[in-house]
Structures are given as C-alpha cells and as structure tokens.
Amino acid sequence: MPWTDGFIAVDWGTTNRRAYRIDRDGACLSSFVDGRGVLSVGTDEFAAAAGDIRARLGDLPLLLAGMVGSTRGWVEAPYVPCPAGLDDLIRGLCWIEPGAIAIVPGLSIKDEDHADVMRGEEVQLLGAIESAMIPKRCFVGHPGTHNKWVRISDRRVADFRTVMTGEMFATLRRHGILADMLADPVVPGDAFDEGARRGLQGKLLTAELFSVRARVLLGSMNRASASSFVSGLLIGADVGVGLEMASQAEMILVGDPDLTRLYKRAAALGGMPAREIDGEAAFLAGAAALAKAIP
Amino acid sequence: MPWTDGFIAVDWGTTNRRAYRIDRDGACLSSFVDGRGVLSVGTDEFAAAAGDIRARLGDLPLLLAGMVGSTRGWVEAPYVPCPAGLDDLIRGLCWIEPGAIAIVPGLSIKDEDHADVMRGEEVQLLGAIESAMIPKRCFVGHPGTHNKWVRISDRRVADFRTVMTGEMFATLRRHGILADMLADPVVPGDAFDEGARRGLQGKLLTAELFSVRARVLLGSMNRASASSFVSGLLIGADVGVGLEMASQAEMILVGDPDLTRLYKRAAALGGMPAREIDGEAAFLAGAAALAKAIP
C-alpha cells in the first residue's frame, strides 16, 4: 500500500507521543496524544508500543519522528549533517520494517566552534517550507524544552543553535532555592517584560536568577510576579542569541502558540518583528511532504 | 559567664551544621559537623537541636550564624543593610536567650537596580578582616552554593552580588538532559579551562550547556570531560561578573579550598591574580571577633 493512500505520523518525544492518522488527501482524520514518551517505553517494548498506535488509528504505514530515533529510542537513526533538506531526510530514513515503518533522522551541526543536534523539529521546519507557510530563505525560532534558532536557506536547514530555555525554567520551578517562588503561571505583562529586557541585555543568568529571591525577600518584587520575571529573563536571553544569529529582518516562530506568543513579545522588546506558525500544523505538513516523497 | 571565657559558634546552614567550641584563648578545642541543617529541623525543634549541640560541646553561650536566622530557621534575624561592619552585626544580633544564645543577622543590598542577601558569609568576611587575613579594603569572592562577590571598604561590607553557580551545577548534575553526562569528578585541567574561557567570554549559559550534550553525542568531546567543562563554564561566567565588579587588582577567595582553587584558576585565565583564604579559619576568626565585641 503506497504511503499516499494514508499513513500514521507520530511525533514521539521524550515524555509524550502525538499520533496522527493522515488520509490520502492529506487531512488528519483522527489523532491522540498520550504519556507514552520514549522514557516510559522499555527498549524491547517499542514494537508493541507501535502496534498499539496502529490498533488505535488503523493498520497503516508508520512515520516516526523525534526521540524515538535517539540512542534511547527504538533504533538509532543517525543524524544527517546540515545543510539538509527534505531529500536528505528521505535518504536518511531508518527503515524498521521495509516500506511500512520508518524513523526520520535528526540533524546535526559539527564544526570547530560549535556542535548541535535536533530531533523532531526538522519535520516541522521542512513541512513549513514545503507547504509555503514560511519562505525558502528565512530565520526561524522553534521554542520548546530546547529552543532552536534556525537559518533556512534554499529550502534547507543551513545552520542552527539550541538554547535550553524550557528545560532550565522547568528545572528551576521544581528544584532549588527559587522553586517555591515560581509556582504562579507566566503572564505576558510588566514582570515578563522587565525580565526580558534584562535577559536581552545579556546579563548573567546565574546572577540575575538569585536576585529574584532577594527582591521577593526584601519586598521589592511581588512573589506572584517572580515566575513571569524569570520566564522573561530566560526567554529574553534566548531571543538575544536569536537576534545575534538572525539573518533576516523578521523572525518566524514555529511551535506551541503559548510559547511563540512569549517569544514574539520578547523579540518585539528587542526590536525584531516576529510571525507565529502553529507547530502542529507544520508537523502535519512535514509528515505529508515526507510521505509523498518516499520512493 | 562572659563570652570571652568560652563559647560555641555554629555555622548552621540549609543542609548541614558545623559547631565549634572556642576556648578563652580563641582556640577551637573540639567541633563537629552533621546533617542537621535548617531544613531537617522542625520549626519547634530548634531549642532541642541547640540543646543537643551543648550536650556534645559543653554548656556554653551559643553564637549561631547562617540560615538558622532565616524565615525557615529558629527565629528570623532581620537583614542588616550594607554598608555594614562588625559593630552593625553586634547591634543586629537576635537574642533568643539574653546573654546566652544569639543569632547573627544576614546582610542585604537593596537599590533600584539590584537586590541581594547573604546569611553566614558575613561572619567569615568580617572575621577575615578583623584577624587581618585580608586588608580593610579589598575585593573578595566567596564560592559556595551561592557565590558572593564582595567589595570590602573601610572594614565594612560595602556591596555584594550573588551568583548561584554551585546550585546550578548541582542541579544540572541531578536533573535534566545533561545529568547522565556530569557524573565524573571535576578536574582542574584542559576541559575546565576550555569551559572557563567560554564562560569568561560571557556566552549564554543555556546555549553553551546544550552544546555539551551535542559535543558528546557527536564525538567531539570525551564524556569524562563534560563535568569539568561545565564546571569551568559556570565558574568562568561567575568570575566574569567578579572581574566586572572588581575594585582592586587582586581577588581574594574565601571558602572551601576545593572551590577557591577552581575560582583562582578561572580568574588567572581572566588575567586576575587571586589569593586563597580558608573559609573555616575565617569563620572561627569572625565568631571570636563577635564574641569579644558582645557588650
């Protein structure tokens, strides 16, 4: 059965998996998300976990992306070095079951000064290009646990850089001396902006973070503002990296709308206009483009 | 019984307490360290915990410093605003039992641009001054869970700034995507220096940290070097803050010798000579100076 007759695309991450049944006209008929991320699946349980996806969405070919292709996943799909486009991903597909189950490879950068890797975001990025959501040459931010700043050139991922903003924020919220001050939700307002301005100035995070505690203890910051300030600080510093690397006069932000909204706000404070693209739509477009190109 | 006839000084932190019996000639006759830090003592158990110290070291007056004077401690000893010297600490002593049990207050900075607090380090800093281990005007680093960069002027703590380097390193070692790469001991060698150089350049920590993972995955960094590199990165960034704030041509590093050694190494890479002072000796000197000054 050719992939264009229908298939299942899975964004299989560390803690969650999102599975989508995609019809021959490219529409997503049904989908689910659950907590069966890579870390919750034993190394010999992936075939069963994939069978469970088919049992729920249909007996169709499976296209798997994300950490499922890492050393901790089902089978390691070696990184494809950048610059890389859709054709390179197709060539790098790791076939678990010929013609029926494939894992999309991640991308890597390795030069003297910098090393970097991504897994999962490449499907969204190339999907956004193939479906003309974004131009063939642009500068993209992909906020998430590990934000990626990406230079797209000639329809390929030319270069990228990871900033572990989301992980750092989640860790600070759960562990250490600031944790009990960071329970409140992040609100895009004055405290976020104040943090983002400091972050954009490139102040040292490990110094600024402690000052949050001092401000709350000494009464110069409302405790309820602390999480928004810290989020602003981390995202502002992250956007500062993006501004340095930006090759265009506009940023395109692909991802979860709750996150792209905060990055857009920080980018505006840094003088850079930004446009938001829904990450899920980009993933579906990328999966469809890959399925269409499978020989 | 006057304090100069002998007393017990306790450095009572979040996770540990260190108690020293100090004789009338200022010598430390006996001491112990245990895990009865503030977090392991219930709010109504401090009197018993102090009684336990006396049972072990003698029925003498108690001088308590550190987190025991925080909101989570025995009784809150309000912060004394800087600039502050030994006389200000004496005036700020929080007497639990008049003449017999006192808690040393912490210090604070609060101005428009910066807020900061310390608890415990002030005894070491003022002790080092009073015993002429350090000059009456100098620039001090106090590495620990939360490193403090301190301007000493006219025998007083004039200004300081906290960088949460130690906590960040401990957190990265225990939680998140780098944890499994950071189990090795930190070695003062090439990997530490390479990290410290990057840290001193002020590169964004949340970006550099992820690159450690990528370097190990792509084979451009030895896994055993990762913890030394990350330690260098964090300490280098921290020393960068110190270099910016330094008011002297020399840094004095007070604290645990294992830590001051690493900071001295990073400072040398930043072109700044540094001198090391043992933190425990400074604490004992500070406690003796306080006891002598108690009216």
User: A81-118 pLDDT, tens per residue?
Assistant: 999 999 999 999 999 999 999 999 999 999 888 899 99
Taking 80 as the threshold, does the pLDDT of residue B246 lie above it? Answer: yes
CA-based nearest distance A177→chain B, Å: 8
Hey, what CATH topology would domain A163-278 get? Nucleotidyltransferase; domain 5 (3.30.420)
Give the pLDDT band (50/70/90) at residue B162.
Answer: very high
For Cα atoms A113, A121, B215, give the angle at the middle one, nearest 5 degrees.
25
Predicted pLDDT of residue B5: 85
Q: B17: exposed, middle or buried (C-beta count within 10 Å: 0-12, 13-18, 19+)? A: buried
Taking 70 as the threshold, does the pLDDT of residue B1 lie above it? Answer: no
Pairing of strands B17-23, B28-34: antiparallel
In B, which residues are within 8 Å of A241 by CB distance? 204, 207
The reply to whether A163-278 shares the fold of A3-135+282-293 is: yes
Any CB–CB contact under 8 A between A206 and chain B? yes
Describe the strand order of the beta sheet including A94-97 as a list of residue ranges: A28-34, A17-23, A6-12, A62-65, A101-103, A94-97
Hey, what CATH topology would domain A3-135+282-293 get? Nucleotidyltransferase; domain 5 (3.30.420)
Predicted pLDDT of residue B4: 79
Q: How many contacts (CB atoms, under 8 Å) link A and B? A: 122
Any CB–CB contact under 8 A between A201 and chain B? no
Any CB–CB contact under 8 A between A175 and chain B? yes
Query: Model confidence over A145-180: pLDDT tens digits?
Result: 999 999 999 999 999 999 999 999 999 999 988 999
Whether this prediction's pTM lies above 0.80 is answered by yes
In chain B, which among 20-49 make CB contacts under 8 A with chain A? none
Predicted pLDDT of residue B242: 97
Query: Model confidence over A254-275: pLDDT tens digits?
Result: 999 999 999 999 999 999 999 9
- Domain spans of chain A, in order of start: 3-135+282-293, 163-278
Taking 60 as the threshold, does the pLDDT of residue A47 lie above it? Answer: yes
Cα–Cα distance for residue pair B295/B105, rounded to 1 Å: 17
CA-nearest residue to A214 within chain B is: B116
Give the pLDDT band (50/70/90) at residue B215.
Answer: very high
Give the pLDDT band (50/70/90) at residue A252.
Answer: very high
**Nearest partner of A38 among A90, A75, A7, judged by Cα:** A75
3-state secondary structure of A150: strand
Taking 80 as the threshold, does the pLDDT of residue A227 lie above it? Answer: yes
In B, which residues are within 8 Å of A207 by CB distance? 161-164, 238, 241
Taking 90 as the threshold, does the pLDDT of residue B176 lie above it? Answer: no
Instruction: Tell me which residue has tokens 């550190």.
Output: B66
Predicted pLDDT of residue A286: 95
- Token pair belonging to A259: 């996150």
Nearest CB partner across the interface for A108, out of B163, B207, B218: B218
Q: Where are the alpha helices (DSSP H) in B218-294?
A: 226-245, 257-269, 279-293
Give the pLDDT band (50/70/90) at residue A247.
Answer: confident
For Cα atoms A159, A264, A259, give the angle at the middle one, nearest 5 degrees.
85
The per-residue pLDDT of chain B, averaged, comes to 94
CA-nearest residue to B79 within chain A is: A218
Mean pLDDT of B210-227: 94
CA-based nearest distance B98→chain A, Å: 27
Number of Cα atoms under 13 Å in the Cβ half of residue A275 = 12
Mean pLDDT of B37-43: 92
Instruction: Tell me which residue has tokens 């928004």.
Output: A228
Q: What is the ipTM of this complex?
A: 0.90
Cα–Cα distance for residue pair B215/B211, rounded to 1 Å: 6
Nearest CB partner across the interface for B175, out of A175, A221, A240: A175
Taking 80 as the threshold, does the pLDDT of residue B52 lie above it? Answer: yes
Cα–Cα distance for residue pair B57/B40, rounded to 1 Å: 21
Cα–Cα distance for residue pair A279/B151, rounded to 1 Å: 49
Contact B218 A176 (CB under 8 A): no
Taking 80 as the threshold, does the pLDDT of residue A1 lie above it? Answer: no
Contact B204 A207 (CB under 8 A): no
Predicted pLDDT of residue A14: 87
Predicted pLDDT of residue A109: 96
- Token pair belonging to B208: 């550099």
CB atoms within 10 A of CB A55: 9
